[in-house]
Amino acid sequence: MKIKVKLILFSLVIVFLSLSFITVLFVFKYSFSVFDSEIKHLEISLKRTESFFYDYLSQLNRVAGFLSELREISDNLDKPRVLSIYLQQKDSLFPSSGVEIFRKNGEKVLSYLPSGVKCKLNISSLLREKKQVVRLSGIFPYHGKLCFLSLTPIVDPTSLRIKGYLALERPIDSGFADYLKERVREEVFILNGQGELLGSTYIGEEGERIFPSRVQKWKGAMKGEIEGRLFLMKGVDIKCMGNNVCGKLILGKDETEVLSVHRGFLKYILVAFGLDLIFALLLTLILSRHFIKPITALSRAGERWAWGDLDYKLNLKRKDEFGKLAETFNSMALQLKEKRDELEKTKAFYQTIINRSPTGVLVCNPSGKVQEMNSSAKEMFGDKLKKGDNLFLSIRGFERVKEKCTSALLQNRAQEIYGLEAEVGGKNLILKVLIYPVERDGEPVLIVQVEDITRKKEMEKELLHLRKLAMIGTRLTSYAHDINNYLTTILGHLEILDLRLSDYYLKEEVYQIKNATRNAAKLSRSLLDFSRERTRLEEVNLNEVIDSTVNFIKKILPESIKLKVKKTEQGLKVMGDPSKLSVSLYNLIINSMDAILMSGKKNGNIILEVTSEYDPVSGKHFAKVVVEDNGVGIERKDINRVFEPYFTTKGSEGTGLGLYMVKSTVEEIGGKISVESQPGQWTRFTIYLPISSSNQMEGK
């Protein structure tokens, strides 16, 4: 560009700056006329707002009259629940309003006050004072608040008799201010008679409703300030019942820019001309041959970098400040690129950690809608939950999670649920759920971590059982030692008694007692041996064990129960502990007796049968012992648990250890036990015991 052209441009700039001063004077004068126009416009808007304000009361009267004439209302005055359901269906007619229904004598039937409706007008006392038809409409003050009220009688459509009264209430609050703002497009403020704020449409930076501060009169109106914004305001009185002034309706318009300019004009108009001259001189000195070009290049480079093209280089080879600025910008772009790449790598790294975490991680909004979920969560929930579904509704058992999510948001801290039972993927799982709130793009979201602790809970339960068993074992060892001492004393006295008796039958009874005492002593010693982790096995004739056990049990069996014994002639021999085998048979027969007594049958039968059976798979012979009864039977849901420790169907009368000890005894000598049952008809326990080698040689 030639110097001549530059001089022309500089001259035009100076002329422009000179004319700008003159323009300021005209604008200053014009601003006053603008304010007058704005105040007139605000007055018109205020009249429209006042009209909408009182039109709402008319609308409330129409709705109240419509509801009071409905047959569903008059026919169900004695059914508050039905009225509540019907009003819920009709609540679109009175949004943000509450309904109260009274009988003719003033007794309240129903209060249907949705969230946010806090009118607490004493309508019942008013109805009790009036002895005639009451139809009220207006604005009522209560506890410093204001409320619309429309009270109308409920008339029977057939007899035209008054059956009660219906009151429709709406608080005059921020929600109502928002209703007015939608119609007049200006900020609305509502004050009570004491000047306290009831409603505001202006929401501050912290989410609260705000009224302008530093309010003062100005040019027939008012002006105030909210968070640095200047408002022009105009107000009108609110009249309650009895034509008393009980509040104020104020309309406000943001005139920050206009008011700021108006106040600034007086300050800067005196120096405007001098600044214009100085600025013109500086422009003449600063402008040079290459001034516009580097600025354009910098602007173009800035746009490219803003679009994300950080590989773009500013090619501006100059030795002045523009050259240094270009180098700085290029260096800055390079650093930004490195930081961006580093952030991308970090983001990818943390994303990999989250996806590979064995704990399910979900990101949900406050209502429970799933926004993100990692691989473990997808695998855990399967097709039952996917992105966009509601976590609380899709997974059965997550109702408690909804409550904890609400608590996490309100308290702004993590919440935990340990041992949550839920149905996930067709399985009943026990979960540990951790919920904590975070912010995402300025909005609150919830991070939900779900961990499957089903196996952990089972292990804790098993560990508890093992601890109980260890305690019982220690206690039984102590008891067994004491019992063994007592039994030794009893056996000594029985031996002395046997020597002194001459009666054969008495000596036979003493012999049976000595056998039972010896078996008890052997059992106590076996408990001691077991506690020392030693097992002593000997060859046992099953017939002898059965005979001694049956002879003892027959003395305690009721007459209504018959015990039938079927056994081999010579008796099968197995390796085991005779006292433990005797106790095992005793437990099975006593269980059968209890089952028959529980069934209430008068002809109870218990069958004890011993046979031999060959197993072609192992090539061994087994003694098969069957104990069967026609008692109450075992339910299908319990049949797999009868051998578990502490499990019993006898209530407080059972210990849950009898069948557990039978199973332990059988498996200790290499046998096995099974159970079959038909509920209400029969139960059959089958024991397989390996026959001793000497018995098998005799069989051959």
Do 69-171 and 357-452 share a fold? yes
| Cα 419–chain centre separation | 13
Query: Is there a contact between 663 and 596 (Cβ–Cβ < 8 Å)?
Result: no
pLDDT, tens digit, 9 for 90 and up, residues 148-167: 988 888 888 787 888 888 88
- CA-to-CA distance for 632 and 679, rounded, in angstroms? 6
Q: Which residues pair with 429 in a beta bridge?
A: 422
CATH superfamily of 536-700: Histidine kinase-like ATPase, C-terminal domain (3.30.565.10)
Residue 293 has pLDDT above 90, yes or no: no
Secondary structure of residue 421 in the 3-state scheme: strand
- CA-to-CA distance for 592 and 608, rounded, in angstroms? 11
Q: What is the DSSP letter of 651?
A: G
Ranges 351-355, 430-434, 461-465, 625-629: which has the least confidence: 461-465
pLDDT, tens digit, 9 for 90 and up, residues 467-503: 666 566 656 665 665 676 667 778 777 777 777 777 7
In the structure, what pLDDT confidence band is assigned to residue 682 with cuts at 50, 70 and 90? Answer: very high
Residue with tokens 């060959």: 614
Domain 292-351 belongs to what architecture?
Answer: Orthogonal Bundle (1.10)
Query: Is there a contact between 221 and 232 (Cβ–Cβ < 8 Å)?
Result: yes
What sign results for the dihedral spanned by CA atoms 562, 566, 571, 574?
negative
pLDDT, tens digit, 9 for 90 and up, residues 380-426: 887 778 888 888 888 887 877 888 888 888 888 888 888 888 877 66
Domain boundaries, the chain: 69-171, 292-351, 357-452, 453-534, 536-700
Identity of the residue numbered 338: E
Give residue 3's pLDDT.
36
Return all residues near 523 (Cβ < 8 A) that are at least 6 apart: 579, 580, 583
Which of 557, 560, 665, 661 lies closest to 603 in space, CA to CA?
Answer: 560
Residue with tokens 């008393």: 244
Residue 2 has pLDDT above 60, yes or no: no
- CA-to-CA distance for 108 and 85, rounded, in angstroms? 17
pLDDT, mean over the chain? 79
Task: Name the CATH topology of 69-171.
Answer: Beta-Lactamase (3.30.450)
Task: Specify the higher pLDDT residue, 575 or 464.
Answer: 575
- CA-to-CA distance for 631 and 438, rounded, in angstroms? 62
pLDDT, tens digit, 9 for 90 and up, residues 634-670: 888 888 888 887 677 776 566 667 788 888 888 888 8
* Helix, strand, coil % over all residues of the chain, rounded to 5: 50, 25, 25
What's the Cα-to-Cα distance from 550 to each of 306, 330, 483, 542, 627, rounded to whole Å?
A: 97, 103, 23, 12, 12
Give residue 472's pLDDT.
66
Question: Does an H or E element contain 261, and which?
Answer: helix 256-286
- CA-to-CA distance for 700 and 696, rounded, in angstroms? 6
In the structure, what pLDDT confidence band is assigned to residue 439 with cuts at 50, 70 and 90? Answer: confident
Could you tell me the pTM of the whole model? 0.38
What sign results for the dihedral spanned by CA atoms 272, 276, 282, 283?
positive
pLDDT (mean) for 574-584 = 85
Give residue 267's pLDDT.
64
Give residue 6's pLDDT.
46
pLDDT, tens digit, 9 for 90 and up, residues 339-359: 878 887 877 776 777 777 778
Tell whether domain 357-452 is in CATH 3.30.450.20.
Answer: yes
In the structure, what pLDDT confidence band is assigned to residue 624 with cuts at 50, 70 and 90? Answer: very high
Which of 135, 83, 90, 134 lies closest to 109 in space, CA to CA?
Answer: 83
Q: Which residues pair with 142 in a beta bridge?
A: 145
Residue 309 has pLDDT above 60, yes or no: yes
| Maximum average pLDDT range among 20-24, 74-78, 285-289 | 74-78
Residue 96 has pLDDT above 50, yes or no: yes
Which of 672, 699, 689 lies closest to 537 in space, CA to CA?
Answer: 689
Residue 565 CB neighbour total at 10 angstroms? 15
Return all residues near 86 (Cβ < 8 A) that are at least 6 apart: 72, 73, 76
Q: Which long-range contacts (CB under 8 A, 24 or more apart) does 201-210 make?
A: 201/174, 201/177, 202/226, 202/252, 209/174
| Helix locations, 357-453, DSSP H | 375-381, 391-394, 399-411
Which of 416, 390, 408 lies closest to 445 in space, CA to CA?
Answer: 408
